[in-house]
Amino acid sequence: MALPTMDRRAAVKKLLDARDGALVVTGLGSPSYDVHAAGDRDDNYYLWGAMGGAALVGLGLAQAQPRRRVMVITGDGEQLMAFGSLATISVARPKNLDLIILDNQHFGETGMQSSHTGRGIGFDRVAAACCFAEVAELRSLEEVDA
């Protein structure tokens, strides 16, 4: 049985419509397109050409701007390139950082090869193992709550 799919662009737009002044960092590829399609803004940072860097750039911003919410919107393939950043973020425990991983189970920028998430690796379980304070895996647009 196929898993339910979510309209990624609609989910990103819903998150950004409620951003309330948050800084946004995007990962390589589709997440950058999705954020731009939802409305380009000066406080969007499209991290292009640094595969695996979005989460740690977001952490740096969150630490430098502790009074501002920081949202990192990235893909599973990009985040897999920086697997250890989840442990680093967990140790830093920034209260103002949200990490949103859009998981299509593929490395979209390198030819749509299957990623590890299609083979049983779940970022929700990894984040929970790293002691993230809040973890959720969302499968429908109705579950998306900014």
Does the structure show a pLDDT above 50 at 1?
no
- Domain residue spans in the chain? 8-138
The pLDDT assigned to 60 comes to 98
Q: Decide if pLDDT at 109 tops 70.
A: no
- Residue-wise DSSP of 122-140: -HHHHHHHTT-S------S
> How many CB atoms lie under 10 A from the CB of residue 14?
16
Average pLDDT over residues 70-89: 88
Q: Which CATH number fits domain 8-138: 3.90.1640.10, 3.40.50.300, 3.40.50.970, 1.10.10.10?
A: 3.40.50.970
Residue among 38, 44, 115, 35 nearest 83 (CA): 115
Residue 88 is predicted with a pLDDT of: 95
